[in-house]
Structure 1
Amino acid sequence: MTTWGLVSTLKAPVEAVLNFAAWHLELGATRLILHFDDPKDPVQALLRDHPRIEVISTDHAYWQRLKGRRPARHQPRQTANATRAYAANTACDWLGHIDVDEFLLPERPVADLLSDLPARCHAARLRPAEALVAPAPSSQVHLKAFSVETPLRHQQSTRIFPTYGRWLNGGMLSHVAGKLFVRKGLPQAELRIHNVLSNDIKNPGQVELSTIPLAHFHAGSWENWLAHFRFRLEQGAYRADLKPAQPDTATLHELLCQIDAGEGEPGLQRFFDEVCCDTPALRARLSHEGLLRVAEMDFDRLRADHFPHHST
């Protein structure tokens, strides 16, 4: 039986962390290796005794042992934690590195899909589909996917998002590179955010694992998106050093800065409404292009099932 686990670096509300853990325990994860970026995060106490969860508090002593100091930016902390977990953990045949707002959506059991991969494959790529923001809470989630083929992706982005599509990579606000499952046993493995290096070989034997889309809850609500906007603009998915989505266009950073400077919050909300909101018109355009995904994600039930004494 193929075994699999996930490693993540987390800093999120209690309910979001429990959602992440419960969803992947339900899918059959052998091990969840959770590094808490805030060593005083109270949710650690709720998870520490679970037999399939490893809770790691990344305090001063942890970083002194691992790196000599705590990296200032969150991306190097994520990669250091993931690399450590890959080297240390022997319980899983495969280890995936994803974030707390990302959820596997396998077409069949994850273990079966991983066991079907050829022996030469040591890196299986999961492509994201971003969750649309529903007008009211619902366990049914609509997501926007994208085409892997780049020219088609750009054409579809422009058709689906008529105002802002040419500044977007397939309509995605965050990454299109996806995340990886990495087979255990690679020598000198260094896990990155979107890749793995082994003896300086990048993603050995990589295969596109299209049967496991990665649901990405990049924008939880207008208020949530706006609260994260400045950080993402400076250090995250909208930062200045990222390339433009399509040739001969401004970067997403430049577009958002222009909207912010010229129109303020009303302009940002118009952008958000077109790109992120779950509307009948957007669902119809996505469906016409074959890019609408639907998932049943009853987090309330899963939290109650897996954490009955801690469900919120």
Structure 2
Amino acid sequence: MILSVTTLKDSVGNAEKWVRRNLACGIDHLVVVVDGPQPELEAMLGAHPHVTVVRGDAEWYADAPSELLNDRQIVNAALTCRLLAGLTWAEWVFHLDGDEVAQVDRADLAALGADCRAVRLSTLEAVGRLHPAGDPTSFKRRLGVDELQLLTLLGAIPEPSNAVYFRGHRFGKPGVRPSLDHAIGVHHVIDREGNQVEPAQAPGLRLLHYESFSGDEFVRKWSALLGSGGHIGQRGQRASVAGSIRTLLGLDLGEADTQVFLYRLYQRLCEDDVGLLERLGVLVEVDPDSRRREVASSVQGVDQLRRLLTAARDLPKRAFLPKALSPEADAMVARLQAAL
């Protein structure tokens, strides 16, 4: 089975689409830690046969630094990966956000060989429109130097850089074979010495990133991020965006004026010249809603996974931060697996 793990704060409608698309594109089972009190979301996910839901409350995190979103994400991903170590039915685990869909070609994955320990899903970012007619099916790929220079001279981007061309991350997302010797973070896989593992890549391993594809989604995402507690780790332009939105929300202008200024920020920072990109032929067309596949699920494996996560509820989570990879965590995993 190919699994994913996500720390999620979102609407029920968005989550339903996200689950359906990931199952259609290659994930067999999704582990979702619901971030904070979201009873309707928890109920919907808990009723799905291909989803294992965890209530991500203060009791779950115990001694972990749960006030930081990035740490919550990392702990949940690394813990899940290590709980599955040595279980032959769990082949790969991917770390996804709630606006990401993993496209996994099993033939490409198998062709990498049994010695391959880590892979990376290369990012395709949904085009941004202020008021799109529906969810996008056009995606931006990473561009070469000459393509970026052309877009700059045509006025589509202010400078020839993929960091500017992409609204969100351009590094992709990691996947790992479950192991006690490797832990999965947000964008990287870490070995026992704390070093980043060089990931393999293949054409059929891609990530559909629905990063702020509309003005409304931009407002929802940043409001959720800034309301998630603690420091939000962002770099470059995203750090400036976070600071500006935090300032705007703190002005208490009223809902109507706040939305006007948020939309203006979106148009200046995120909206793409989709017509130009289409005419240049640099977009990739993907419609995950048109895909159908038979999910390769193991009833016994899913039951084992759920019992492991239930038993892990009382564990001190700090030991599962990836750079630790501590003997303490090894012993806890061995004890839980033996108890089952």
TM class by smaller structure = 0.7 to 0.9
Alpha-carbon offset, residue 55 of structure 1: 0.8
Partner Cα distance (1:26, 1:223) in 2 = 25
Matched, 1:200 2:193: yes
For structure 2, which runs of at least 5 residues remain unmatched after alignment?
A: 249-260, 293-340
Measured against aligned partners, the alpha-carbon deviations of 1:54-91 in whole angstroms (never above 9, x if no partner) come to 11111222111xxx145211111000000110011334
Matched, 1:283 2:278: yes
Distance 1:31 1:152, change over 3 A: same
Greater share of helix residues, 1 or 2?
2
Q: Is the 8 A contact 2:157 2:164 kept in 1?
A: no
Name the structure 1 match of 2:178. Answer: 184
The 5-angstrom pairing of residues 14-33 of structure 1 reads 14-33=12-31
Name the structure 2 match of 1:71. Answer: 66
Distance 1:62 1:236, change over 3 A: closer
Alpha-carbon offset, residue 213 of structure 1: 1.9
Equivalent residue pairs, number:
273
Q: Is the 8 A contact 2:2 2:91 kept in 1?
A: yes
Distance 1:40 1:257, change over 3 A: closer
Name the structure 1 match of 2:122. Answer: 127
Partner Cα distance (1:34, 1:255) in 2 = 27
Partner Cα distance (1:271, 1:188) in 2 = 44
Q: RCO higher in 1 or 2 (8 Å CA, sep ≥ 6)?
A: 2
Partner Cα distance (2:148, 2:61) in 1 = 42
Identify which range, 54-63 or 114-123, moves more after superposition: 114-123
Measured against aligned partners, the alpha-carbon deviations of 1:213-256 in whole angstroms (never above 9, x if no partner) come to 2111111421331454577699557x4xx25xxxxxxx564589
Q: Is the 8 A contact 2:26 2:103 kept in 1?
A: no
Distance 1:284 1:255, change over 3 A: farther
- TM-score, length-scaled by structure 1: 0.74
Q: Is the 8 A contact 2:12 2:44 kept in 1?
A: no
Corresponding letter in the other structure for 2:214: S
The 5-angstrom pairing of residues 47-196 of structure 1 reads 47-64=45-62, 68-89=63-84, 90=87, 91-106=89-104, 110-133=105-128, 135-138=131-134, 141-147=137-143, 151=145, 155=149, 158-159=152-153, 162-166=156-160, 169=163, 171-185=165-179, 187-196=180-189
Q: Is the 8 A contact 2:126 2:136 kept in 1?
A: no
Measured against aligned partners, the alpha-carbon deviations of 1:104-148 in whole angstroms (never above 9, x if no partner) come to 234xxx33222111333211111211111455434661111113x
Partner Cα distance (1:177, 1:20) in 2 = 21
Alpha-carbon offset, residue 152 of structure 1: 5.1
Report % sequence identity: 20
Partner Cα distance (1:82, 1:102) in 2 = 15
RMSD: 3.4
- Say which SS state the counterpart of residue 36 (structure 1) adopts: strand
Name the structure 1 match of 2:216. Answer: 223
Name the structure 2 match of 1:295. Answer: 286
Partner Cα distance (1:236, 1:53) in 2 = 27
For structure 1, which runs of at least 5 residues remain unmatched after alignment?
A: 244-250, 303-312
